[in-house]
Chain A
Amino acid sequence: MKLVVNGTAHELVVEEDMPLLWVLRDVLGLTGTKYGCGVGQCGACTVHVGGEAVRSCVMPATAVEAPVTTIEGLSSDRSHPVQRMWLALQVPQCGYCQSGVIMAAAALLRSTPKPTDADVEAALGNICRCGTYARIREAMRALARA
């Protein structure tokens, strides 16, 4: 199969049902995308497929038809507006969930540049065990104003 990740095309031979998450992490070595539950409940594994936020642990790599962007490909220098705002407001704590949250946030802002709180809550159902929600909310409000 062919998989385009962060602008690079890869020719891969993997099982038909192997989730994109593990292809990214264990085959391509892109460890920025995280494993939290493996069953679509937490959002730690969120990446973009064709610009849409997708939970990569429940998406077979062979079913991916559009280019994939991971946290490593969001920007080369942490310059994506979400990354910048995340640093400005010091959002992460342990940071483990944040790749997924940032990717979900970036996808939302692309489709809905001025999201309401309700839009944000609907799109960012990610679990953050450290409880960074107050700052995620603030950061998204600031981005929606920008």
Chain B
Amino acid sequence: MPKLTRRSVVKLAAGSAAGLVLGFHLPPREARALETPNDFGSFLNAWLRIAPDDTVTVIVDRAEMGQGVYTALPMLLAEDLGCEWSRVRVVAAPADPVYRNVFLVKEMLSGGQPMGNTANWLVGKLARLFGQQVTGGSSSVRGAYKPLRIAGATARGMLIAAAARRWGVPESECRGEAGVVSHLGGERRLTYGALAAEAAGLRPPKRPNLKQPNEWRLIGQPLPRLDLPAKVDGSAGFGIDVRVQGMLFAAVAACPVFGGTLGRHDPARALAMPGVKAVLPLKDALAVLADNTWRAQQALAAVEIEWTDPPGPLVDSAAIEASLRAALDETGRIAEESGDVAKALAGSVRRLRADYEVPYLAHAAMEPINATARVMPDGVDLWIPTQAQEISAKAAAEAAGTSTDKVRVHTTYLGGGFGRRSEADIATQAVSIAKLAGAPVQVVWSRAEDMRHDFYRPAAACRLEAGLDADGRLLAWQQRLASPSILARIFPPATWIEPDGTAVEGAVKQPYAIANRRVSHTVRSFPVPVGFWRSVGHSYTAFFNECFIDEAAEAAGKDPLAFRLGLLGEAPRQRAVLELAAAKASWGTSLPPGRGRGIALHSSFGSHVALVAEVLVDATGLSVVRVVAAIDCGVIINPDTVAAQVEGSIVFGLTAALYGRISLEGGRVVEQGFDDYPMLKLSEMPVVELHMLESSELPGGVGEPVVPPVAPALCNAIFAATGKRIRRLPVTGQLTA
């Protein structure tokens, strides 16, 4: 990397002034979006093609995994393009640097704090250089909010310019709307389709004319999702549905102990089975190829495989948990500090302390991990349900022994992602197998393989201490966290100066005003891969913090809602969602015996969420009756999508809180399916009520922010109903006498 001097910064700035946000300085033809079929028409920029028949093709550079980006992102572009919504269709973007997730890197580098112009620009530049094309961090809409509207407005400007030229009139007398450029009173009109080819050759306007919010026709509307028709008739193409001429189907088993390798195995029995084409040894796994998936799976099961365990002790859950608990006795690295916690704790009238813990969790997306690869002399094709196109391309190139630009990544629909599909292990595996096989190969993992070779949500432990004054005011908050580090695996430099931000997020930058606070973290590493799991560190810090706030309220003799509100003087958005959720849930009214309400508040990914859960605990056990949610996620692009994400997140959060636990024995994951890693079902679904705050703030994320407050709302409700504090997840097994 060239050293950034002051002069080179100035030079860079001058060189890229025009295309600052968008990379419009990259002519679209340089983007691999060119790989979209030609009849999609002319490129107006890397996200947009318009065909002569007025079809508007939006090239979506984020993965559709159920969260609705194939609708929300086109809505943003179409809004400022001013086209007919009915003419919009979507294609998945190829892997290309132009589609990098600048927003996500910016947020990581800035810690979500506002930056000055120069810092903003510099970080953006770095992000474009070193970022990745990734769908994650609830960043798709947040990152696209400005760029895609600008992309639309820029294209509209070019279409207007093309029409004005043809008519020999000033551009200022023309307008573009509903897919048509018209002049003055509208005597002269040309459709976008008729102008696109000409417009594509024009210079993009320097100052694209963005619509004002009061002119919006699409943003804010509950438009039906563009991908849903194909999802009710079986035609939506997921990774597992890819069919390539001459392809073979592979079943794989990797060494059940992480880091182990393939040992002795006898392929003879498998090779004798019908339809079996090959038994291919990889370093850490065995693949069996056949003419259909089932035959491959059967033949794989017929091979007796010896595995070679990695050196070192084989971990199990008890040892991991003990190690994490022991780490709570260490101070750890400071993640956040203000005031003097030790002094404040010593001087407080009432002190309380509690230890919490959570286990590893698997993603368990419904579509098992899979990819289809074809390795040809001229390059590699990879069909993959991925959240990370560039990382997949790089992995594929390495496996094939070629360069990344020789890899074509075809992103399919994702049958769930939740962070799991930001890993490229399957790209490596599928390409390695296809290369060895000399034929296109689809690798589909069994459910057990998927469950046992995940990148798990880290297990974590936490010790919380609080000090109250004589009036029950919260004076001091000390929090020690211990967990494995995701960034230590993925990007170690991010942990050099400060503790892993993904491990402490949600514990730091609390909205509550507490004068003396300290949050610290200790890394404990185990031979268990860890990764991003929907809401990442927030998924446990919200549980720790919002349950302990409840404990503090109890110690102070105050109502949990009133206690929180008393600490939220400086946090109006958090206050508003909390008050709204409480009001809608009739907080404070009495409930029959066995019932209880719990409240929780959490901010993450730019959104603020409060939940009130109501539970019933009786002789038959625990049931979650109702969850009332209030969310402030800034400007809402598609309210129906927001609602769906809230509903889904509550299920996701309840599943984890009630049942989720990945355990280890002898270095291997024990759980293998939905029987020992259960999912919430329809019969357990509580009534969900959602209230969205109107807001003109920048959009917040919605894919993740509702997951974190679910567990604490639930556990606080259990306390209200039973008097029992749940300090360890999952809840299962803790409520029986």
Binding site for B on A (CB under 8 A): 15, 18-19, 21-22, 25-27, 29-39, 41-42, 44, 70-72, 74-75, 78, 83, 86-87, 90-99, 102, 120-122, 124-137
Complex CA distance for A10 and B235, rounded to whole angstroms: 21
Contacting residues, chain B, for A31 (C-beta < 8 A): 234, 237, 240-241, 243
Instruction: Give the top 8 A-B pairs by smallest Cβ distance, nearest first.
Output: A32-B234, A131-B651, A96-B415, A95-B231, A94-B66, A93-B66, A71-B234, A26-B292
Complex CA distance for A70 and B682, rounded to whole angstroms: 22
Chain B residue nearest to A133 (CB atoms) is B685
Residue contact A90 to B647, C-beta cutoff 8 Å: no
Complex CA distance for A14 and B225, rounded to whole angstroms: 40
Interface centre among B364, B415, B649, B681 (most CB of A within 10 A): B415
The answer to whether residues A90 and B66 also contact, given A25-B293, A135-B647 and a CB cut-off of 8 A, is no
B650 at the interface (CB under 8 A from A): yes
Residue contact B233 to A78, C-beta cutoff 8 Å: yes
A-B interface pairs (CB < 8 A), number: 175
The answer to whether residues A95 and B446 also contact, given A42-B366, A124-B682, A130-B416 and a CB cut-off of 8 A, is no
Residue-by-residue, is B248-282 near A (CB-CB < 8 Å gives 1, otherwise 0)?
Answer: 01000000000000000000000000100000000
A-B contact pairs, 29 of them (CB 8 A): A15-B295, A22-B294, A26-B292, A26-B293, A27-B292, A30-B234, A31-B234, A31-B243, A32-B233, A32-B234, A36-B366, A36-B367, A36-B447, A38-B297, A87-B232, A94-B365, A95-B66, A95-B236, A96-B367, A98-B231, A98-B232, A120-B682, A121-B682, A125-B681, A129-B365, A130-B416, A134-B647, A134-B685, A134-B688
Contacting residues, chain B, for A132 (C-beta < 8 A): 644, 647-648
Q: Which of the residues A97, A121, A122, A136 comes within 8 Å of B366, measured between beta carbons?
A: A97
B383 at the interface (CB under 8 A from A): no
Complex CA distance for A113 and B291, rounded to whole angstroms: 42
B67 at the interface (CB under 8 A from A): yes
Contacting residues, chain A, for B68 (C-beta < 8 A): 93
B484 at the interface (CB under 8 A from A): no
A39 to B: closest C-beta gap in Å = 6
Complex CA distance for A41 and B292, rounded to whole angstroms: 22
Flag the segment in B15-23, B127-135, B598-606, B671-679 that touches A.
B671-679
Contacting residues, chain A, for B679 (C-beta < 8 A): 127, 129
Complex CA distance for A35 and B239, rounded to whole angstroms: 12
B611 to A: closest C-beta gap in Å = 14
Contacting residues, chain A, for B65 (C-beta < 8 A): 94
Complex CA distance for A83 and B297, rounded to whole angstroms: 33
Majority-rule SS of B interface residues: loop
Interface centre among B294, B644, B681 (most CB of A within 10 A): B294
Q: Which of the residues A35, A74, A96 comes within 8 Å of B444, measured between beta carbons?
A: A35
A56 to B: closest C-beta gap in Å = 11
B415 to A: closest C-beta gap in Å = 3
Complex CA distance for A131 and B347, rounded to whole angstroms: 47
B413 at the interface (CB under 8 A from A): yes
Residue contact B66 to A130, C-beta cutoff 8 Å: yes
Known contacts A78-B232, A96-B238, then 10 further A-B pairs from the complex at CB < 8 Å, ordered by chain A residue: A26-B291, A37-B447, A70-B234, A86-B232, A90-B225, A93-B644, A95-B66, A95-B232, A96-B367, A133-B651
Complex CA distance for A133 and B241, rounded to whole angstroms: 25
Complex CA distance for A19 and B295, rounded to whole angstroms: 10
Complex CA distance for A19 and B292, rounded to whole angstroms: 12
Residue contact A83 to B233, C-beta cutoff 8 Å: yes
A25 to B: closest C-beta gap in Å = 7
B229 at the interface (CB under 8 A from A): yes
Residue contact A22 to B234, C-beta cutoff 8 Å: no
Contacting residues, chain B, for A128 (C-beta < 8 A): 366, 651, 682
Complex CA distance for A27 and B679, rounded to whole angstroms: 31
Residue contact B66 to A22, C-beta cutoff 8 Å: no
Complex CA distance for A70 and B233, rounded to whole angstroms: 9
Complex CA distance for A27 and B364, rounded to whole angstroms: 27
B594 at the interface (CB under 8 A from A): no
Residue contact B233 to A92, C-beta cutoff 8 Å: no
Contacting residues, chain A, for B364 (C-beta < 8 A): 129
Residue contact B293 to A22, C-beta cutoff 8 Å: yes
B413 to A: closest C-beta gap in Å = 7
Contacting residues, chain B, for A86 (C-beta < 8 A): 228, 232
Complex CA distance for A121 and B686, rounded to whole angstroms: 13
Contacting residues, chain B, for A37 (C-beta < 8 A): 447, 673-674
Chain B residue nearest to A122 (CB atoms) is B683
Residue contact A90 to B224, C-beta cutoff 8 Å: yes
Residue-by-residue, is B345-373 near A (CB-CB < 8 Å gives 1, otherwise 0)?
Answer: 00000000000000000001111100000
Residue contact A74 to B366, C-beta cutoff 8 Å: no
Chain B residue nearest to A96 (CB atoms) is B415
Residue contact B413 to A19, C-beta cutoff 8 Å: no
Interface centre among B66, B292, B652 (most CB of A within 10 A): B66
Residues of chain B in range 642-688 having any CB-CB distance to chain A below 8 Å: 644, 647-652, 655, 673-675, 679-683, 685, 688
Residues of chain B in range 188-247 having any CB-CB distance to chain A below 8 Å: 224-225, 227-238, 240-241, 243
Complex CA distance for A31 and B370, rounded to whole angstroms: 15
B710 to A: closest C-beta gap in Å = 11
Contacting residues, chain B, for A72 (C-beta < 8 A): 233-235
Complex CA distance for A126 and B366, rounded to whole angstroms: 11
Residue-by-residue, is B287-310 near A (CB-CB < 8 Å gives 1, otherwise 0)?
Answer: 000011111010000000000000
Q: Which of the residues B228, B237, B367 comes within 8 Å of A90, measured between beta carbons?
A: B228
B640 at the interface (CB under 8 A from A): yes
The answer to whether residues A127 and B681 also contact, given A94-B65, A94-B414, A94-B416 and a CB cut-off of 8 A, is yes
Residues of chain B in range 592-648 having any CB-CB distance to chain A below 8 Å: 640, 644, 647-648
The answer to whether residues A38 and B682 also contact, given A26-B293, A94-B415, A95-B415 and a CB cut-off of 8 A, is no
